[in-house]
């Protein structure tokens, strides 16, 4: 859907008037918005951001540096979209609004260009990404890491120290397309396990746990060759053209009818929207719809398997909704159902479904707002003192690692698949 307006620098990828016009300015979304909660400013609310986009569409204001800043501060968490009674597709509006920033007089132009280059040339290229992550893997495994943490030396290293705080405590070997995974004793059905980019490199343990949980239910998970990065980070950054390219690669690379199980909420949300992303591509539109219909979040799929029970009865667990699972995919109950079945005590915290501030690259490009949102989570963890913090998205997991440290707790942070896998394992 392109805009007819002449006021956008990139009309072919501009927010559609049809989408903008759905907003009736009722304000029911405002209190769900994390950036509004922190700033109290209308310009940092969904209604304000949509208002600015419409004013540009109608030629009332230019795309100024200030407008760009308000859009850049948006987490694209889509909490606003989930509560909007008019069905405003805020996620789509903001991706198209961000697409304009490349072509407009830049505020943070250099940084934006570097980000685009990084996303295209590193994140989307598996070998380059693996090489880029290798030093991170070494840092995480070094025996000096606990010492560096204890002595507080990392506090002096600025962003590097902050990034270290987000790393999982144990990084397993990667799971890339073609990797061998757990096999069920009797195969009832087969699914494709989507391995992703950073997820596969840093969260191989979650992939292996996903395959084991599925195998217990008689489902064989195959990390098929031919997969590519899902393109979510590119689309959120406004590089819609490249996101489309990656979507086509996945549609070509993951043929067949088997369900595609995704255990990263951000990837799953993007892949379920391939039909929308490629809606104007005559060669791919129908295939994109069919592909999207095959995509299921791990919790959505696992909730339909026979109950496996668990022995997590002594654990106090809090589940924190990833935005792209709760708000974009509207999946809230299945993860809780799975955790309850595992036998744990499930604790709900205030703002459990509010964005943690990870939001893709957000913690790197908007560190102050990201830190304020992380602190809100840390306060809740300090108050409720859970044994385990469970989530279903790699970026959130990293942010919670840092929040746990900020709260001064020893709680474990786990992907839901890892938690269910451990809970169902027979006692040795
Ligand atoms: S986005 Fe939806 S909830 Fe928010 S002001 Fe517009 S119509 Fe109301
Ligand atoms: S996507 Fe999230 S941060 Fe952005 S306007 Fe909506 S609620 Fe606010």
Output the CA angle 53-80-60, nearest 5 degrees: 15
What is the predicted pLDDT for the residue at 99? 93
Ligand 2: does its nearest atom lie under 6 Å from the Cβ of 74?
yes
Residues with CB under 6 A from ligand 1: 23-29, 46-47, 50, 80, 84, 86, 88
Task: Give every CB contact of residue 329 below 8 A, 6+ residues apart in sequence.
Answer: 265, 268, 269, 272, 297, 300
Q: Is the pLDDT of residue 106 over 60?
A: no
What is the predicted pLDDT for the residue at 140? 77
- The topology (CATH level 3) of 11-107 is Fumarate Reductase Iron-sulfur Protein; Chain B, domain 2 (1.10.1060)
| Nearest atom in ligand 1 to 83's CA | 3
Predicted confidence (pLDDT) per residue in 305-334, tens digit: 987 767 767 899 999 999 999 999 999 999
213, 380, 396 from 367: Cα distances, Å: 36, 20, 15
Confidence of residue 401 (pLDDT cuts 50, 70, 90): very high
Both tokens assigned to 271: 């892949």
What is the predicted pLDDT for the residue at 425? 78
Q: Is the pLDDT of residue 428 over 60?
A: no
More confident residue, 65 or 45: 45
Report the alpha-carbon distance of residue 117 to residue 122 in Å, rounded.
Answer: 8
Which residue's alpha carbon is at the smallest distance from atom 1 of ligand 1? 23
What is the predicted pLDDT for the residue at 3? 60
Confidence of residue 149 (pLDDT cuts 50, 70, 90): low
What is the predicted pLDDT for the residue at 139? 78
Q: Is the pLDDT of residue 281 over 60?
A: yes
Q: Is the pLDDT of residue 32 over 60?
A: yes
Q: Is the pLDDT of residue 4 over 70?
A: no
Ligand 2: does its nearest atom lie under 6 Å from the Cβ of 263?
no
Confidence of residue 155 (pLDDT cuts 50, 70, 90): low
**Minimum-distance ligand to the CA of 50?**
1
Q: Residues 17-24: what's their mean pLDDT?
A: 98
Confidence of residue 2 (pLDDT cuts 50, 70, 90): low
Domain range list for the chain: 11-107, 117-165, 189-302, 316-424
Q: Residues 118-125: what's their mean pLDDT?
A: 97
Which of 135, 131, 267 lies closest to 199, judged by CA?
267
* Pocket perturbation via mutation, ligand 1, pick of 15, 19, 42, 50 by most ligand atoms within 8 A of CB: 50
What is the predicted pLDDT for the residue at 263? 98
Q: Is the pLDDT of residue 118 over 60?
A: yes
Report the alpha-carbon distance of residue 204 to residue 133 in Å, rounded.
Answer: 13
Q: Residues 138-157: what's their mean pLDDT?
A: 70
**CATH match for 316-424 among 3.40.50, 1.10.3470, 1.10.260, 3.30.70:** 3.40.50
CA of 30 to the centre of ligand 2 (A): 9
More confident residue, 314 or 417: 417
Task: Give every CB contact of residue 309 below 8 A, 6+ residues apart in sequence.
Answer: 341, 342, 343, 424
Q: Residues 40-69: what's their mean pLDDT?
A: 96
């Amino acid at each position: 859907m392109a805009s007819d307006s002449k006021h956008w620098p990139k009309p072919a990828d501009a927010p559609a008037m049809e989408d903008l016009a759905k907003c009736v300015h009722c304000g029911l979304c405002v209190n769900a918005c994390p950036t509004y909660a922190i700033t109290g400013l209308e310009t940092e609310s969904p209604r304000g951001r949509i208002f600015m986009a419409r004013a540009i569409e109608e030629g009332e204001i230019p795309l100024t540096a200030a407008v760009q800043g308000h859009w850049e501060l948006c987490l694209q968490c889509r909490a606003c979209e989930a509560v909007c009674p008019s069905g405003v597709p805020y996620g789509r509006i903001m991706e198209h609004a961000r697409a304009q920033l490349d072509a407009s007089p830049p505020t943070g132009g250099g940084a934006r260009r570097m980000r685009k280059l990084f996303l295209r040339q590193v994140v989307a290229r598996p070998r380059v990404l693996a090489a880029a992550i290798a030093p991170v893997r070494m840092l995480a495994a070094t025996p000096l890491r606990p010492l560096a943490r204890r002595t507080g030396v990392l506090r002096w290293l600025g962003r590097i120290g902050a990034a270290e705080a987000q790393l999982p405590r144990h990084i397993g070997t990667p799971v890339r397309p073609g990797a061998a995974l757990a096999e069920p004793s009797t195969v009832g059905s087969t699914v494709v396990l989507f391995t992703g980019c950073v997820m596969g490199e840093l969260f191989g343990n979650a992939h292996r746990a996903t395959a084991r949980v599925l195998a217990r239910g008689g489902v064989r998970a195959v990390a098929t060759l031919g997969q590519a990065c899902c393109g979510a980070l590119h689309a959120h950054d406004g590089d819609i053209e490249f996101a489309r390219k990656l979507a086509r690669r996945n549609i070509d690379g993951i043929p067949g009818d088997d369900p595609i199980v995704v255990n990263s909420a951000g990837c799953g949300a993007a892949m379920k929207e391939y039909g929308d992303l490629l809606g104007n591509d005559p060669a791919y539109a129908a295939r994109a719809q069919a592909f999207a219909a095959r995509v299921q979040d791990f919790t959505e799929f696992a909730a339909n398997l026979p109950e496996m029970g668990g022995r997590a009865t002594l654990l106090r667990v809090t589940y924190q909704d990833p935005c792209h699972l709760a708000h974009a995919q509207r999946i809230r109950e299945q993860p809780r159902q799975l955790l309850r079945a595992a036998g744990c005590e499930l604790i709900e915290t205030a703002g459990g479904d509010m964005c943690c501030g990870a939001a893709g690259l957000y913690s790197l490009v908007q560190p102050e707002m990201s830190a304020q949102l992380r602190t809100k989570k840390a306060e809740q963890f300090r108050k409720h003192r859970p044994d385990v913090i469970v989530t279903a998205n790699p970026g959130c997991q990293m942010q919670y690692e840092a929040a746990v440290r900020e709260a001064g707790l020893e709680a474990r942070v786990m992907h839901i698949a890892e938690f269910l896998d451990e809970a169902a394992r027979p006692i040795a």
